[in-house]
Amino acid sequence: MKLFLKTKDHAVSGEPFELYLDEQLDMLVTKPQPHNLAPYYESEDYISHTDSKSSFTDRLYHRVKGINLKNKVQIIENQKNNTKNLLDLGAGTGDFLIAAQNSGFQVSGVEPSSKARKLAEQKGIQLSSSLEDVSGQKFQAITLWHVLEHLPNLDDQIKTLVNLLEENGILVIAVPNFKSYDAKHYKTHWAAYDVPRHLWHFSKKSISKLFEPHQMEVVKIRPMWFDAFYVSMLSEKYRGNKLYLISAFLVGLWSNFKAIFTKEHSSLIYILEKKK
């Protein structure tokens, strides 16, 4: 592997990290990868674990999140396998599972953060702390909304997920795309690198290659249009730009426009099925 980029943890610790390119898989690997990642999530700035609404950025995140939740549920409902039960890995504070439950799904969720699990419990959603807690079950859909990039021992985790799927089950995976225009524009300040919480950084090629040995294939790819704006907004803040809203809107808009032709959106949703 060769050095691709030097960056740092802009959100919590300020520590330096490096991204190395795995040319065979066409993905980036964060180095070093801390043995204990928990302290890097223990911040009010890590919004998916806290439900924080203290800043304008937080409130905007939740406004967009509400729209995205409906879109995510719709994606599952549109699949031909007639999904009735699903597992959400990295469920955060449970909002996606609540939306899915309200649409008639039987739901289960896994979330390692005890703080996030407590917040989910207050909303009426009981979450498990690890995949081992659901190892005896089978699911028609398993979702990972910006979660795969956080998982250590990636190949083992993928194998476990595939084993939890029913024969006609689907995996729905959303991850940032380091081939997007906004990633190239912001470089070391691109917020979606989010080191060291993001251990891996994927391209379309890498997702296909990672899942091929597990007899899973990508059958559909969907864009996440809002991510270009939100990631650009955080990236501008990391740059120290006080007029970050205007700049972020323009970069996000241009990133989405270019992606109409390149198909390299800021974040992508992959729908995978077991090979026939």
Per residue, the 3-state secondary structure of the chain, as one string, reads CEEEEEEECCCCCCCEEEEEEECCCCEEEEECCCCCCHHHCCCCCCHHHCCCCCCHHHHHHHHHHHHHHHHHHHHHHCCCCCCCEEEEECCCCCHHHHHHHHCCCEEEEECCCHHHHHHHHHCCCCCECCHHHHCCCCEEEEEEECCHHHCCCHHHHHHHHHHCEEEEEEEEEEEEECCCHHHHHHHHHCHHHCCCCCCEEECHHHHHHHHHHHCEEEEEEEECHHHHHHHHHHHHHHHCCCCHHHHHHHHHHHHHHHHHHHCCCCEEEEEEEECC
Q: Is the pLDDT of residue 49 over 80?
A: no
Q: Is the pLDDT of residue 82 over 80?
A: no
Q: Which H helix or E strand runs over 23?
A: none
Q: Which H helix or E strand runs over 109?
A: strand 106-110
Over range 36-46, report the average pLDDT.
Answer: 79
User: At 43, is the pLDDT very low, low, confident or very high (cuts 50, 70, 90)?
Assistant: confident
At 164, give phi and psi (nearest 5°): -85, -10
State residue 275's pLDDT score.
82
Q: Is the pLDDT of residue 57 over 90?
A: no
- 20-34, 61-75, 249-263: least confidently modelled range: 61-75
Q: Do residues 104 and 161 make contact, with C-beta atoms less than 8 angstroms apart?
A: no
User: At 8, is the pLDDT very low, low, confident or very high (cuts 50, 70, 90)?
Assistant: very high
State residue 242's pLDDT score.
86
Strand partners, 128: 110
Segment 197-246, tens digit of pLDDT: 999 999 999 999 999 999 999 999 999 999 999 999 999 999 999 889 99
Percent of the chain with pLDDT over 70: 92
CATH pick for 2-274 out of 3.40.640.10, 3.30.360.10, 3.40.50.150, 1.10.1660.10? 3.40.50.150
State residue 66's pLDDT score.
73
* Top-confidence residue, 12 or 56: 12
Q: What is the domain partition of the chain in residue ranges?
A: 2-274
> What span, in angstroms and rounded, lies between the C-alpha atoms of 222 and 206?
16
State residue 165's pLDDT score.
95
State residue 87's pLDDT score.
97
Question: ∠ at Cα 62 (233, 134), nearest 5°?
Answer: 115
pTM of the model: 0.92
- Average pLDDT of every residue of the chain: 92
State residue 64's pLDDT score.
72
Segment 143-152, tens digit of pLDDT: 999 999 999 9
State residue 58's pLDDT score.
66
Q: Is the pLDDT of residue 47 over 70?
A: no
CA 82 vs CA 25, 174, 251: distances in Å: 32, 21, 38
Strand partners, 216: 274
Over range 8-12, report the average pLDDT.
Answer: 95
